[in-house]
Structure 1
Amino acid sequence: MHDSIKAVNGDIKLIWPGEEEWIEYFDDNREDVANHIDFTAIHPYILWRKYPETSPFYDGFYKIQKEMLKKRNIPTEIWVTETGWTTYLPDSIRRHFPPVTEYQQAQYLVRNYLVQLYFGAGKMFWYELVEEPFGVHHPESGFGILRYNTMLTVKPAAVAFANMVNNYRYLKPVGKYLAKDRKTYGFIYENEKESGAPVLSIWREADEKEELIPVKYTKSLTGVDIFGRTIEIPIIDGMAHLPLSMSVLTVSGFDMDDLKNLYEPKEQY
């Protein structure tokens, strides 16, 4: 299969499932197969745990998987080729996927992209672009971020996706924010388009809470929500007051000296 595909177009990539049991497949005297894999792919659905940060793909998964791949001389790039949350309307039947609201779908989309790309995904593909026409109570109908109609009208997740691309296009992740509360999550980035200016992404798992960050050198802060709306972050008596919710807040304006002790540097593997 590999040789036939490459004969048509050498740039076509061959994907292999990247879960543990599929990687261990190469241990059974199939070393020659590994030489034909360009990268592996995973489908990190959350199912009944719901939140992106409660998935095993948060933090340790990628490091372990890449170590397994490297040990077997397989390329270590991992793509997320299917992931998502569905907004179908619940009925009396217990389904495989729990439904979420359209607003929650938008929140989880951004959080999931930031988490997966930070910890090791090379590329990500949301499942799926347009809703399926199976009826409002069918789980497959609600994964799309565009509605199934003649105008392909957008759901909130589509707006959030567009703003995420705009806000994070030039950001390089440098560390994980060291939150005092285990239900607060965040990452520190450097804006490569603005001489490495620091940017903080920060959010709560499932509630709202104000995050206080001591600042000595920072003069002003601006926050952007997942729909592109901006707010001025108040700085009072040397403390920045960040209003956190389940939606990612992207904050710029920090002096890096105020953040240098507030994050764990990104591990390279």
Structure 2
Amino acid sequence: MELFGLKSGNKRKAFILWSLIVLILAGVSSLSVWKKHQTLFPKIDENLTVTDGLGVSIHLGVTEKDIQLIADSGVKWARIDILWSQVETNKGEYDFKNTGYDELNGLLNKYHIRPYYILDYSNQLYEQKKSIVTEQGRDAFGKYVKVTVERYKDQGAIWEIWNEPNHPRLWDPQPNYEDYALLVKEVSPIIRKYDRSGTIVAPALASINEDALDWLQKVLEQGILNYIDVISVHPYQSNNPENVMKEYDELKKLIGRYTDKDIPIVSGEWGYSMAHTPVQKPITEMQHAEYLTRSFLINAKEGIPISIWYDWKNDGTDINNREHNFGIVSYYSNPKIAYLSLQTLTKQLEGYRFSKELSLFSNPNDYVLEFVNEDNKKIIVFWTSESSHNIEFSLKTGEGQIISMLGAVQHAEWKDKINVNSSSSPSYLVIK
């Protein structure tokens, strides 16, 4: 028998040849897409520049004005929940349009803000409590994850599996080590399959104090590090941001006991409320700005590639309500001092990476950090967690500018060493 002038034996050979060609082309195409993703969306690790890793937490209801202000601040990420119970109100039906998620995703793309999406919480269509503890629940959550990830793929998004599962208000009942680990193992392959540009992070650990690390250890014992790319934590502090360094040390040691791989750590949520409450000493608007700046700088020093500030915007107007007073901008989207300090940081450190800490030896509460860009230009950022005082450190003879936390500029010259006033507000020494 002949077909298109080919005998049957030759036809089979031609079919096999064309099949191989199609497979090769498909492989080349997949490799090309993968390389494109690697170029557009750099790997989340210590090689990110400082500003490429900064972001803010937002909530549904933010306006285009908010997103534009976020972009103008210089940050590159926005973190938000995609709430399962809102998206799926009838079994098997998913609504991203009327819930506002499609519009938000479009705005993030328009202003070049990368999405940090949290896949959470429970859904009473499948589970009785705010948790996922049944096979039915895990299967349904996996389907919601598949639909969500397919819809918002190819953006270099971060996909976070739940938010603060070690918090009893956000996962009930506790303890939940096995159930949470089962959920991660269920949905991680789904994310991996449907969004090759994405990064899988977990568990968005509430705090990194001793109790939180005990919980994390139990989850790591379940083997979740084989299913995620990055560990995410919420390292809230009650006072000076610099206190977080000791907690990071303990966290890194713990992770090291369960893997030889270099697992990055991201700060997925951290902020300070300005509320007047009986349990918290209120901070001023200037202190709020200082803590924001110092938190981002300390995270850069500690090799934390992503730092998300909580919150972008005040959730209300009650000065005595803690949740109403975390924002960088007011409830009406008016910038606070922290917004200006953030703009100054992103403008000065755009394209820079942390290089080293300059040792002063005289005072452990003084911080002098060197940042370097690809042209080997240097910026030295200095501050203290104590009251203002002068510091002196060696520096090759030169000149430059000292820029305050809020952007004031003064000329500086020095010979072999420089003497500057260090305060709780970080300053930037830009070397010419």
TM (normalized to structure 2)? Answer: 0.51
**240, 245, 251: which one pairs with 1:51?**
240
1:34 matched to 2:220: no
Task: Find the aligned partners of 1:23 and 1:205 in 2 and give their Cα distance.
Answer: 30
1:68 matched to 2:254: yes
Render the CA deviation track for 1:231-256: whole Å, top value 9, x for unaligned: 12354x765221211111110227xx
Task: Find the aligned partners of 2:409 and 2:373 in 1 and give their Cα distance.
Answer: 18
Task: Find the aligned partners of 2:220 and 2:425 in 1 and give their Cα distance.
Answer: 42
Is the CA contact (8 Å cut-off) linking 2:201 and 2:232 kept in structure 1?
no
Structure 1 segments, 4+ long, off by >3 Å, are 3-10, 60-64
- Unmatched 5+ residue regions in structure 1? 255-269
**373, 396, 400: which one pairs with 1:221?**
400
Render the CA deviation track for 1:17-50: whole Å, top value 9, x for unaligned: 454224312464x23x332222111111111xx1
**126, 134, 157: which one pairs with 2:338?**
157
Matched to 2:347, the amino acid is: N
Pairwise mapping of residues 6-25 of structure 1 onto structure 2 (< 5 A)? 6-10=192-196, 11=198, 13-17=200-204, 19=208, 20-25=213-218
Say if 1:86 and 1:72 are closer, same or farther in 2 by CA, change over 3 A.
same
Task: Find the aligned partners of 1:241 and 1:70 in 2 and give their Cα distance.
Answer: 40
Q: For 2:319, what is the secondary structure of its paired residue?
A: coil
Partner of residue 376, structure 2? 196
Say if 1:214 and 1:35 are closer, same or farther in 2 by CA, change over 3 A.
closer
1:2 matched to 2:175: no
Task: Find the aligned partners of 1:205 and 1:61 in 2 and give their Cα distance.
Answer: 17
Partner of residue 99, structure 2? none
Matched to 1:231, the amino acid is: Q
Pairwise mapping of residues 149-188 of structure 1 onto structure 2 (< 5 A)? 149=332, 152-179=333-360, 180-188=362-370
Partner of residue 232, structure 1? 411
Q: For 2:401, what is the secondary structure of its paired residue?
A: strand
Q: For 1:122, what is the secondary structure of its paired residue?
A: coil
Partner of residue 103, structure 2? none
Is the CA contact (8 Å cut-off) linking 1:234 and 1:241 kept in structure 2?
no
Is the CA contact (8 Å cut-off) linking 1:200 and 1:250 kept in structure 2?
yes
Is the CA contact (8 Å cut-off) linking 2:397 and 2:417 kept in structure 1?
no
Q: For 1:76, what is the secondary structure of its paired residue?
A: coil
Render the CA deviation track for 1:186-225: whole Å, top value 9, x for unaligned: 2112232xx212221100113111122345x413231111
Say if 1:190 and 1:7 are closer, same or farther in 2 by CA, change over 3 A.
closer
Partner of residue 259, structure 1? none
Partner of residue 94, structure 1? 278
Partner of residue 257, structure 1? none
1:251 matched to 2:432: no
Matched to 1:81, the amino acid is: G
Render the CA deviation track for 1:133-181: whole Å, top value 9, x for unaligned: 15111111111001012xx110000111111111112222221121222
Task: Find the aligned partners of 2:193 and 2:317 in 1 and give their Cα distance.
Answer: 39
Is the CA contact (8 Å cut-off) linking 2:274 and 2:322 kept in structure 1?
yes
Partner of residue 84, structure 1? 271
Matched to 2:402, the amino acid is: G
Task: Find the aligned partners of 1:239 and 1:122 in 2 and give their Cα distance.
Answer: 31
Is the CA contact (8 Å cut-off) linking 2:300 and 2:354 kept in structure 1?
no
Is the CA contact (8 Å cut-off) linking 2:316 and 2:325 kept in structure 1?
no
- Unmatched 5+ residue regions in structure 2? 1-186
Higher share in strand: 1
